Amino acid sequence: MLKNWIRPARPEKDEVKARLKAAQEKLAVQQMQLKDKKLPVLVLIEGWGAAGKGSAIGRIIRNIDPRFFKVFSMAAPTAEERRKPFLTRYFEKIPEEGKFTFLDSGWMDEITKETLSGVLDGGDYAQRVDSVKRFERQLTDNGYLVLKFFFHISKKEQAGRINALMDNKDTAWRVSRGDVWQNSHYDRCLDVFDKYLEDTNTPSAPWYIVDAKNKRFAELQVMEALCTGIDTALHNGSLAVPLLQNVFPLVKMPKLREVELKSKTITDEEYKTKLKELQGKLGMLHNRLYRKRVPVVIVYEGWDAAGKGGNIKRLTGAMDPRGFEVHPIASPEPHEKARHYLWRFWTRLPKDGHIAIFDRSWYGRVMVERLEGFCTENDWQRAFYEMNEFEQELSNWGAVVLKFWVQIDKDTQLLRFTDRQNTPAKQWKLTDEDWRNREKWDVYEAAIDEMLEKTSTTYAPWHILESVDKKYARIKALEIVVEALEKALK
Amino acid sequence: MLKNWIRPARPEKDEVKARLKAAQEKLAVQQMQLKDKKLPVLVLIEGWGAAGKGSAIGRIIRNIDPRFFKVFSMAAPTAEERRKPFLTRYFEKIPEEGKFTFLDSGWMDEITKETLSGVLDGGDYAQRVDSVKRFERQLTDNGYLVLKFFFHISKKEQAGRINALMDNKDTAWRVSRGDVWQNSHYDRCLDVFDKYLEDTNTPSAPWYIVDAKNKRFAELQVMEALCTGIDTALHNGSLAVPLLQNVFPLVKMPKLREVELKSKTITDEEYKTKLKELQGKLGMLHNRLYRKRVPVVIVYEGWDAAGKGGNIKRLTGAMDPRGFEVHPIASPEPHEKARHYLWRFWTRLPKDGHIAIFDRSWYGRVMVERLEGFCTENDWQRAFYEMNEFEQELSNWGAVVLKFWVQIDKDTQLLRFTDRQNTPAKQWKLTDEDWRNREKWDVYEAAIDEMLEKTSTTYAPWHILESVDKKYARIKALEIVVEALEKALK
Are A53 and A45 a contacting pair, CB within 8 Å? yes
Task: Please judge whether B66 and A321 are an interchain contact, meaning their C-beta atoms are less than 8 angstroms apart.
Answer: no
Note the pLDDT tens digit of each residue in A246-270.
Answer: 889 999 999 999 999 999 999 999 9
A309 touches chain B (CB under 8 A): yes
B290 touches chain A (CB under 8 A): yes
For residues A200 and A53, state if they share a domain.
yes
Domain encompassing residue B31: 13-236
pLDDT digits (tens, 9 = 90+) for A63-77: 898 889 999 999 889
Asked if residue B253 lies in contact with residue B259, where contact means CB atoms within 8 angstroms, the answer is: no
Residue A1 has pLDDT above 90, yes or no: no
A132, A140 contact by CB (below 8 A): no
- State residue A423's pLDDT score: 87
Please enumerate in sequence order all residues whose Cβ is within 8 A of that of B259, keeping only pairs 6 or more positions apart, or say none: B407, B464, B466
pLDDT of A222 over the 80 cut: yes
Tell if the CB–CB gap between B425 and A61 is shorter than 8 Å.
no
Closest residue in chain B to residue A26, using alpha carbons only: B425
Could you say which residues of chain B have pLDDT below 50?
none
Could you tell me if A326 and A232 lie in one domain? no
Chain B nearest CA to A76, separation (Å): 12
pLDDT for A385-419, tens place per residue? 999 999 999 999 999 999 999 999 999 999 999 99
Residue B248 lies in a domain: no
pLDDT score at B168: 87
**Which of A61, A313, A428 has the CB atom closest to B32's CB atom?**
A428
CB contact under 8 A, B66 and A173: no
User: Where residue A470 falls among pLDDT bands split at 50, 70, 90?
Assistant: very high
Please check whether residue B275 lies inside any domain of the structure: yes
The mean per-residue pLDDT over the stretch A169-189 comes to 90
The shortest C-alpha distance from A292 to chain B (Å) reads 10
pLDDT at B242: 79
Å between B346 CA and nearest CA of chain A: 18
In the stretch 216-275 of chain A, residues with CB closer than 8 A to chain B read: none
Of B35, B78, B325, the CB nearest to A80: B78
Chain A positions in Cβ-Cβ contact with residue B35 (cut-off 8 Å):
428
Residue B246 confidence (pLDDT): 85
Task: Convert chain B into a string of H (helix), E (strand) and C (coil).
Answer: CCCCCCCCCCCCHHHHHHHHHHHHHHHHHHHHHHHHCCCCEEEEEEECCCCCHHHHHHHHHCCCCHHHEEEEECCCCCCCHHHCCCCHHHHCCCCCCCCEEEEECCHHHHHHHHHHCCCCCHHHHHHHHHHHHHHHHHHHHCCCEEEEEEEECCHHHHHHHHHHHHCCCCCHHHCCHHHHHHHHCHHHHHHHHHHHHHHCCCCCCCEEEEECCCHHHHHHHHHHHHHHHHHHHHHHCCCCCCCCCCCCCECCCCCHHHCCCCCCCCCHHHHHHHHHHHHHHHHHHHHHHHHHCCCEEEEEEECCCCCHHHHHHHHHCCCCHHHEEEEECCCCCHHHHCCCCCHHHHCCCCCCCCEEEEECCHHHHHCHHHHCCCCCHHHHHHHHHHHHHHHHHHHHHCCEEEEEEEECCHHHHHHHHHHHHHCHHHHHHCCHHHHHHHHCHHHHHHHHHHHHHHHCECCECEEEEECCCHHHHHHHHHHHHHHHHHHHHC
A333 closest CB neighbour out of B169, B319, B335:
B335
CA distance B264 to chain A (A): 26
Q: Both A118 and A216 in a single domain?
A: yes
Residue A322 binned pLDDT confidence (cut-offs 50, 70, 90): confident
Residue A325 with chain B: CB contacts under 8 Å: 70-71
Q: Cβ distance B140 to B204 under 8 Å?
A: yes
Residue-wise pLDDT tens digits, A180-198: 999 999 999 999 999 999 9
Q: A325 CA to chain B: closest CA distance, Å? A: 7
Nearest to A333 among B80, B287, B334 (CB): B334
Tell me, yes or no, whether A373 and A328 share the same domain: yes
Do A416 and A332 reside in the same domain of the chain? Answer: yes
A310 to chain B, any CB pair closer than 8 A? The answer is no
User: What CATH number does residue B161 fall under?
Assistant: 3.40.50.300
pLDDT (0 to 100) of residue B215: 94
Q: State whether B104 and A313 contact (CB < 8 Å).
A: no
| B322 closest CB neighbour out of A32, A54, A67 | A54
Mark whether A208 and A303 lie in a shared domain: no
Same domain, A303 and A423: yes
Contacts of B316 in chain A (CB under 8 A): 61-62, 66
For position A245, what pLDDT does the model report?
A: 83
Best mutation target among B26, B29, B65 (most A Cβ atoms within 10 Å) is B65
Q: Do B328 and A61 touch (CB under 8 A)?
A: no
Q: Which residues of A touch B312 (CB under 8 A)?
A: 66
How close is the nearest chain B Cα to the Cα of A164, in Å?
A: 15
Asked, for residue A245, whether it belongs to a domain, the answer is no
CA pair distance B197, B133, nearest whole angstrom: 11
* B2 in a structural domain: no
> Residue A321: which of B32, B71, B322 has the nearest Cβ?
B71
Q: Are both B224 and B319 inside the same structural domain?
A: no
Element (H, E) at A71: strand A69-73
Band (pLDDT 50/70/90 cuts) for residue A94 is: very high
Evaluate whether ipTM surpasses 0.90. no
| Chain A residue numbers touching B293 (CB-CB < 8 A) | none
Q: Quick check: is B190 in a domain?
A: yes
Q: Are residues B445 and B335 in the same domain?
A: yes
Considering the domain architecture, whether residues A322 and A183 belong to the same structural domain is answered as no
Asked if residue A252 is part of any domain, the answer here is no
Query: Which residues does chain B have within 8 Å of residue A80's beta carbon, measured at their own beta carbons?
Result: 78, 80
Give me the residue from A67, A78, A284 closest to B78, CB to CB. Answer: A78
- Residues of B with CB below 8 A from A331's CB? none
Closest-CA distance, A36 to chain B, in angstroms, reads: 10
Q: pLDDT by residue (tens digit) across B54-74?
A: 999 999 998 898 889 999 999
Across the interface, whether the CB atoms of A333 and B328 are under 8 A apart is answered no
The closest CB to that of A335, out of B61, B80, B333, belongs to B333
pLDDT above 70 covers a percentage of chain A that reads: 100
Best B322, B333, B420, B430 residue to mutate vs chain A (most A CBs within 10 Å): B322
Closest-CA distance of chain A to residue B241, Å = 31
pLDDT in the model for residue A6: 87
Residues above pLDDT 90, as percent of chain A: 84
Residues in B touching A316 (Cβ below 8 Å): 61-62, 66
According to DSSP, the β-strands at B100-104 and B69-73 are parallel
A 348-387: CB under 8 A from B: 357, 359
User: Given CB atoms, is A35 within the 8 Å cutoff of chain B?
Assistant: yes
- Residue B227 in any domain: the answer is yes
Query: CB of B319 within 8 Å of any CB in chain A?
Result: yes
CA distance A58 to chain B (A): 5
CB contact under 8 A, B287 and A171: yes
* Residue B247, in any domain of the structure: no
Q: Using the predicted structure, report yes or no on whether residue A237 has a pLDDT greater than 80.
A: no
Decide if pLDDT at A3 tops 90: no
Residues B412 and B297 in one domain: yes
Return residues 428-467 of A near B (CB < 8 Å).
428
Burial B78-97 (b: 16+ CB within 10 A, else e): eeebebbbbbbbbbebbbbb
Residues B229 and B293 in one domain: no
Nearest CB among B173, B290, B425 relative to A28 is that of B425
B9 contacts chain A (CB < 8 A) = no
Q: Which of A82, A170, A284, A312 to mutate to test the interface with B (most CBs of B within 10 A)?
A: A170
Contact status of A11 with chain B (Cβ, < 8 Å): no
| Facing residue for A309 by CB, picked from B58, B65, B73 | B65
List all residues of chain A from 52 to 111 with a beta carbon under 8 Å from chain B. Answer: 54-55, 57-58, 61-62, 65-67, 70-71, 73, 78-80, 102, 104
Give the minimum alpha-carbon distance from A342 to chain B in angstroms, rounded to a whole number.
Answer: 19
Q: Do residue B67 and residue A359 have CB atoms under 8 angstroms apart?
A: yes
Q: How many domains would you assign to chain B?
A: 2
